[in-house]
Structure 1
Amino acid sequence: MSTPYSFIVLTYNEELHLPRFLQSIAELNAPVFIVDSGSTDTTIKIGEEFGATFLYNPFKNHPTQWDFALKNCSVQTPWVICLDADQVVTPELKQHLINFKDEEHTATNGFYFNRKNFFKGRWIKHGGYYPFYLLKMFRFGIGYSDTTEKMDHRFVVPGKTEIWKDGHLLEENLKENNISFWIAKHNRYSDLVAEQEVERMRSVITLAEKPGFWGSPNQRKAWYKQRWQKLPRYVRPMLYFIQRMVFQLGILDGRTGVIFHFLQGFWFRLIVDIKMDEILKQKNDTK
C-alpha cells in the first residue's frame, strides 16, 4: 500500500549528510523530491541511487526555495514532509509515520515534530533548545512557506495542527564542526536578518502567524519575535544570552553548549544589531 505522504528536501553540496538522511527514511518507501541549487559534489548521484526525483532552482533564501519546492514538485500524496538534509528521522518518529493513516486525522492539517539539535557532537538540551517543535508535515496544497521571512524559514498551516512530542528529528550539521564554517554561515545569515528587522521596523512586512503565547508553537515564536523587536538594540543580545544561560539552564550544556549559546544567542544577535544600524545609517545618508 502506498504511503500517504511524500518527502521534500533542499540540497546544496550535501554529500556529507544526504546518505544519512535518506537511509533514515528508506524503510518508509515514500516518494522523495530533492530541490537542488547547483551541487558540485556527489549529492545528485547519491539521491538518484536512493530513487529520489530531482528539481533544480537557483538559491535566493530558504523561504523562497521552499515556496518553489511546494509549487513545483509533482507531489501526488495528500501529505508532504519537508525536512533538511542534515536531519535524521529517529526510529520512534519513523514508527509514527509507519502507523500514520490519513483517515484518522481528517480534522488535522499539520503536525509538529520534536527536534534535537546537536553542535560539535553534543545535544543542546537546554537554553530553550529542547523541546523544540517544528511544523514539518502538512496537507499538500494547504500548508505553505512563509515568504515574508528572509532567513528563518517556517511553514504556515491554516486550521488544526497536532504535536508529536515523542519521536524526534535529529539535526546535526557536520560542516559546522569547523567553527570557521559556522561563523561564515551565520555572518551571511545576519545580513538577511538585519534587512528583515529593518523592514519590520518600517512596517514594510508583517508577521504571517498571528502572535499568541498560548497558541501553537509557531504562534508562540511569533509572540516572542514581536516582543524582541521592541527591545533596545545592543541590550537585547545580552538579555537573551542571560535568559538562555541562567533561566533556561544553558549552563548545564557544558563547555561545548556554552560556546554554542554564546555564539548563537549573543554573538549572532549582536552582529545583527550592528548591521541594522549600518543599514539605517545608509538609508538616512541616501535620503
Structure 2
Amino acid sequence: MNPNFSFIILTYNEQIHLPRLLNSIIDLAAPLFVLDSGSTDDTITIAEASGATVAQHPFENHPKQWEYALKTFAIQTPWVICLDADQIVTPELLMHLQSFNSENYAGINGIYFNRKNYFKGRWIKYGGYYPFYLLKMFRYGIGYSDINENMDHRMVVPGQTITWNDGYLIEENLKENNIRFWIDKHNRYSDLLAVEEVERLMHLRQQTVQPNLWGSPDQRTAWLKKLWWQLPRYVRPMLYFIYRMIFRLGILDGRTGIIFHFMQGFWFRLVVDIKIDEILKKNADAQK
C-alpha cells in the first residue's frame, strides 16, 4: 500500500464516472476513501469492489462535505489527495505521483494540480479556463476545507505550496452532456451562491483566503472575487462574459465552447443576481 498519500473521493450516483477515475489511479496502490451522499445506482458497489473504505453523509454543500470527509476518515498517510468522481488523473500527473516521496517535500504543505475542463466532449482551453490550478494534494491534518464558501469548494493550506504545471487533472462530467442536467445543477448552485453573497453583504461571511493578485492561485481567486462583489449586479455578468470571450479569447473555443462560456459565464451569474435581489426583497418585506 502506498505509504505517502491516500485518496478521498466524493460521490453521488457516479457509476458512469467512478470506474474511469479508479482506473486512472489503480497503479498508485494508494488507500481509497469514498464519501457518498446517498447514491441510488451502483456507485457504492463499484467503490467497495475497488477496496475503498466507504461512508455516507447527507449532502448540504461541497465545502461541508469535504470537511466531514477529512474529519471522519482514518487517514494514516502524511498526504491526502481530494478528488471529485468526474475527474481523471492523466499519465502526466500519474508520473508525478508515482515518483512522489514525502521526504522530498520538506517545507511544502500543498500541491496545485493543473486542470483541463471538458464540456460536451470539448476541452475548454480559453476564456480563463486553462491553465486552471486546483489545490488537490496537501498534508493531512494541515489542509482543511473552506466552509466560508457556500458553493465553490477549495482547500486551504497554511504555509508553502507548489504547482505541478503539467500535472493534469481531466474534469469531464458526462451527465452534463444533457443540457437539462447542467441547467438543473447550476440552478441549485445559484441558490447556494445567492445566499452566500447576501450573507457577505450582511457581513456574516468573511474570506478565509487572503486576497492577493500576485499570490497563490487561490489568493488570486480571492482577489478577483472581492472585485466581483464590488461590481454592480446585472452589469457584472455581461462584463465577465465579454472578458472571457474577447480578452481571454473564449471565442476560439468554437461553438460548443461559446455555449459553455455564455451559460457558465453569463447565464449562471445573471440568475445569481436575480436571486440575490429576490432574497433582499423578501428580507426587506419581512422587516416591514
Asked if the contact 2:2/2:31 (under 8 Å) is kept, the reply is no
Q: Which residue pairs with 1:286 in the alignment?
A: 286
Match status 1:184 vs 2:198: no
Paired amino acid for 1:78: P
Asked if the contact 1:70/1:144 (under 8 Å) is kept, the reply is yes
CA distance in structure 1 between the aligned counterparts of 2:40 and 2:193, rounded to whole angstroms = 28
CA distance in structure 2 between the aligned counterparts of 1:233 and 1:143, rounded to whole angstroms = 34
How do 1:219-238 residues align onto structure 2 when only pairs under 5 Å count?
Answer: 219-238=219-238
Paired amino acid for 1:156: V
Sequence identity percentage: 67
CA distance in structure 1 between the aligned counterparts of 2:62 and 2:196, rounded to whole angstroms = 14
Q: CA deviation at 1:248?
A: 0.1
Asked if the contact 1:3/1:29 (under 8 Å) is kept, the reply is no
Match status 1:74 vs 2:74: yes
CA distance in structure 1 between the aligned counterparts of 2:48 and 2:35, rounded to whole angstroms = 12
TM-score under structure 2 length normalisation: 0.99
Q: Which residue pairs with 1:22 in the alignment?
A: 22
Q: CA deviation at 1:154?
A: 0.5
How do 1:206-225 residues align onto structure 2 when only pairs under 5 Å count?
Answer: 206-225=206-225
Paired amino acid for 1:250: G
Q: Which residue pairs with 2:55 in the alignment?
A: 55
Moved over 6 A (4+): none
Q: Secondary structure at the match of 1:16?
A: coil
How do 1:247-258 residues align onto structure 2 when only pairs under 5 Å count?
Answer: 247-258=247-258
Match status 1:64 vs 2:64: yes
Asked if the contact 1:3/1:28 (under 8 Å) is kept, the reply is no
Asked if the contact 2:2/2:28 (under 8 Å) is kept, the reply is no
CA distance in structure 2 between the aligned counterparts of 1:251 and 1:114, rounded to whole angstroms = 22
Paired amino acid for 1:281: K
Q: CA deviation at 1:111?
A: 0.2
Paired amino acid for 1:143: G
Q: CA deviation at 1:281?
A: 0.3
CA distance in structure 2 between the aligned counterparts of 1:2 and 1:170, rounded to whole angstroms = 23
Which 5+ residue runs of structure 1 have no aligned equivalent? none
Asked if the contact 1:114/1:133 (under 8 Å) is kept, the reply is yes
Asked if the contact 2:195/2:276 (under 8 Å) is kept, the reply is yes
Q: CA deviation at 1:3?
A: 3.1
State the superposition RMSD in angstroms: 0.6
Match status 1:148 vs 2:143: no
Q: Secondary structure at the match of 1:40?
A: coil
Q: CA deviation at 1:2?
A: 3.1
Which 5+ residue runs of structure 2 have no aligned equivalent? none
Match status 1:89 vs 2:95: no
